[in-house]
Amino acid sequence: MRVVRLDENTKKDILNTLLKRSPNHYGTYMEQVQTIVERVKIEGDLALFDYTKQFDGFGLTKENVRVTEEEIEEAYQEVDASLIEIIRKSLKNIREYHQKQMQYSWFDSKPDGTMLGQKVTPLQKVGVYVPGGKASYPSSVLMNIAPAQVAGVPNIIMVTPCNKEGKINPVTLVSAKEAGVTQVYRIGGAQAISALAYGTESIPKVDKIVGPGNIYVALAKKAVYGNVSIDSIAGPSEILVLADESANPRFVASDLLSQAEHDELASAILVTTSEQLAKDVEKEVQRLLEQLSRKEILLKSLQNFGYILIADTMEEAIETANEIASEHLEIMTKNPFEVMMKIQNAGAIFIGEYSSEPLGDYFAGPNHVLPTNGTAKFFSPLSVDDFVKKSSIIYYSKEALKPVHKDIIAFANAEQLTAHANSISVRFEEKE
């Protein structure tokens, strides 16, 4: 990790370096992704099955593209019962947290004959993308499906790539079933995103696509946005720890490494007012690296995007944290709640030395699908709000419209929209 004394120039350099990780800068992949998306859009199943054979090595057909209930039952037999119990405990916390986010329709009637309101309606079909490969991330399955289920989405359609034998990770299937999935299809990559966005003979078109994926998936989501809604164009994972001299250097180092192990583009940053802590954390990082299994990935991640930033004051440290707007922000200071009140930009904020980032990843309940690459300045974590839409309700009786109708006509005429004005005036022609 690079140890850097903070000033305006170093802050600017670091921000520029971090932004290079954004999928918006991966233009070299876009042409290939666009070709896949367009072909699936035009050819449907034919292209979808061809790409699955090409990339995943499995021969898909209309008969086997959908995962059966029998396969899901078999998955339960392959997963350790203790892990299923942990999944259920985690899911309970996730549901309880997201239930508190629920918004309901409301109507406000007044004696003058007006009624205004807002109608909240769940989306009808949502697609959830789940990465395949060697790793299985049941926590991401829960985090993407549970809020949709809480929101009342009736059709939650999961897609995930299969192996050459057509098998899907059993932990993924169990997690999806527990969370409330309604359909599962064994497709992945940019071709799966296109299938969800436009529909094929076998895959239903959805209203929104959520879920993490590789660069091809991220760029495919970007390509289909507008035809469907998406959650975000997620970039690599990141953590920022804000600490003073009271922080435990071993805790800090461990938490930085917990995100750096995701991939070579992950970012791990310590911002501290203590030079001694900076030195101690650097030593702990080196010591811990020798004990961890993903050492090669960790080394590349820390070399490229790992920083220890030394600030002169806590105010400067907080300002830097707000400027970076990290996906995960941990606060390890003497007065963490006081510092938290000054944080404006962060995906998730972890307060105190026992609230480490993996607590949020797996168990606490808040969603771990978070804004990355500085987008925490204007985006929020995935929530129930992502799975509902809102309609405005307007009712005026004739008696309520009459006192204001001339004002509306005048406003419309000021914009030279005479048909707008006429739409109001015709209702009072007998009186004019």
Catalytic residues: 327-328
Distance CA 142, CA 207 (A): 20
- φ/ψ (deg, to 5) at 126: -125, 135
Alpha-carbon distance values, 285 to 277, 340, 350, 370 (Å): 12, 26, 20, 25
Residue 225 carries which DSSP code? Answer: B
Alpha-carbon distance values, 387 to 1, 166, 176, 181, 364 (Å): 40, 30, 17, 14, 21
How many CB atoms are closer than 10 A to CB 155? 16
Distance CA 397, CA 174 (A): 53
Q: Per-residue DSSP letters for 273-327?
A: S-HHHHHHHHHHHHHHHTT-TTHHHHHHHHHHHEEEEE-SSHHHHHHHHHHHT-S
How many CB atoms are closer than 10 A to CB 151? 24
